[in-house]
């Protein structure tokens, strides 16, 4: 059975080298990293080696890396800790209308706790306006949370420009980089980012592990209590096998490899659009192709209900999606596309997300294109 997986923005297959590393870790490093005997010291050494690899990938200090269960926990930790610890300085927060649910729902929760949140709108290409940001920023703004790259349409947000604006402002700057890390060169200190969230399962690593970068420049009390682990910020015995799996996944993604991958993904996009043009399929690319993550494309296939199309493709053993995996099973339309087009627009229910990653080939893209066109014409 030839199965084609084009939903890498939702999660990625674990690379064999990562599986091998995790298997080795579970067999060899079973000591508690906090124990003082030789088994514990060996595990602790491996833990800190992994922390160094993560830190080097961002060019930050190792103690600025906090291991977590993934992007959602990291987002919640950064946003909630900042909001409550700084509420006496101000209760105003800024984010965008196209954030991942891990940020959006956390902001909605804070609104029930008497915080005021400004959701920056986007234009017809899914981009925010820096003028809107400048207008929204206040003296009492304590946190700005803006994603590095969007998980549905792929748009890159103006992180550098916002970081520059916040250098002389007391607000902390958080960025959800779950989709961008491993595809973009990210240097938090250079960009003025104080907090950054990452998840391993988006880069061919294991599920249930990730990290939060927290700059030494900011102070945050911990939400959790009970142990000394992770700079006292996340007490509890570390998931060492998962962390070492993430380390192996990160080691694969050198800057050169990222560039090579992105070039390949851009070729896949051209291949798909050329096929649709040849078959005279009516479509529109959602988002801004000139300012996008290479591995994500979102297409409005005019007149084609996306729920029906996904089922037809699934029957052909082809996996794509309609948006964020965190809304799987929900009947709600994409809030990202609604932010671009407005509620009730046909694009919201006629769009699919195609996302590439390790293991995808030109032949698979060709087979996908044939299956897509056949399904649309039927």
For the question of residue 369 being annotated catalytic, the response is no
27, 240 contact by CB (below 8 A): no
CB neighbour burial string for 277-313, b if at least 16 within 10 angstroms, e if fewer = eeeebebebbbbbeebbbbbbbbbbeebebeebbebb
SS3 127: coil
Cα(189)–Cα(17) distance, rounded to whole angstroms? 31
Tell me the DSSP string of 144-171. EE--SB-TTT-BBP-HHHHHHHHTTS--
| Catalytic residue of the set 97, 218, 326, 373 | 326
SS3 1: coil
C-alpha neighbours within 13 Å on the C-beta side of residue 186: 30
Backbone angles phi, psi at 184, to 5 degrees: -125, 150
Which residues are within 8 A (CB) of 318 and not within 5 positions of it... i.e. 6 or more apart? 3, 4, 6, 367, 368, 371, 372
153, 126 contact by CB (below 8 A): yes
Catalytic site residues?
326
């Amino acid at each position: 059975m030839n199965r084609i997986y084009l939903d890498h923005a939702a999660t990625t297959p674990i690379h064999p080298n990562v599986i091998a590393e995790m298997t080795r870790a579970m067999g060899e490093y079973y000591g508690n990293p906090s124990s003082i005997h030789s088994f514990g010291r060996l595990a602790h050494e491996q833990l800190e080696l992994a922390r160094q690899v993560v830190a080097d990938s961002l060019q930050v200090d190792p103690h600025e890396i906090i291991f977590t269960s993934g992007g959602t926990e990291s987002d919640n930790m950064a946003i909630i800790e900042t909001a409550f610890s700084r509420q006496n300085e101000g209760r105003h927060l800024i984010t965008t209308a196209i954030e991942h649910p891990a940020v959006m729902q956390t902001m909605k929760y804070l609104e029930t706790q008497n915080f005021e949140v400004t959701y920056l709108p986007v234009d017809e290409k899914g981009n925010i306006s820096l003028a809107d940001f400048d207008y929204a920023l206040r003296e009492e703004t304590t946190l700005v949370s803006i994603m590095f790259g969007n998980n549905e349409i792929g748009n890159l947000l103006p992180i550098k420009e916002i970081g520059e604006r916040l250098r002389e402002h007391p607000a902390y700057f958080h960025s959800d980089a779950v989709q961008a890390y491993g595809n973009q060169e990210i240097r938090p200190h250079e960009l003025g980012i104080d907090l950054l969230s990452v998840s391993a399962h988006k880069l061919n690593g294991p599920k249930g592990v990730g990290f939060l970068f927290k700059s030494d420049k900011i102070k945050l009390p911990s939400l959790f209590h009970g142990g000394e682990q992770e700079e006292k910020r996340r007490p509890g015995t570390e998931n060492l096998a998962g962390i070492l799996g993430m380390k192996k996944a990160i080691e694969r993604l050198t800057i050169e490899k990222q560039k090579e991958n992105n070039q390949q993904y851009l070729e896949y996009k051209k291949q798909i659009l050329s096929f649709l043009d040849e078959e005279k399929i009516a479509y529109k690319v959602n988002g801004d192709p000139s300012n996008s993550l290479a591995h994500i494309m979102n297409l409005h296939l005019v007149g084609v209900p996306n729920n029906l199309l996904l089922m037809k493709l699934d029957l052909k053993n082809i996996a794509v999606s309609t948006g964020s995996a965190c809304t799987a099973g929900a009947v709600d339309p994409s809030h990202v596309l609604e932010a671009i087009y407005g509620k009730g627009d046909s694009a919201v229910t006629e769009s699919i997300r195609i996302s590439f990653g390790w293991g995808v080939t030109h032949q698979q893209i060709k087979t996908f294109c044939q299956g897509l066109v056949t399904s649309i014409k039927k």
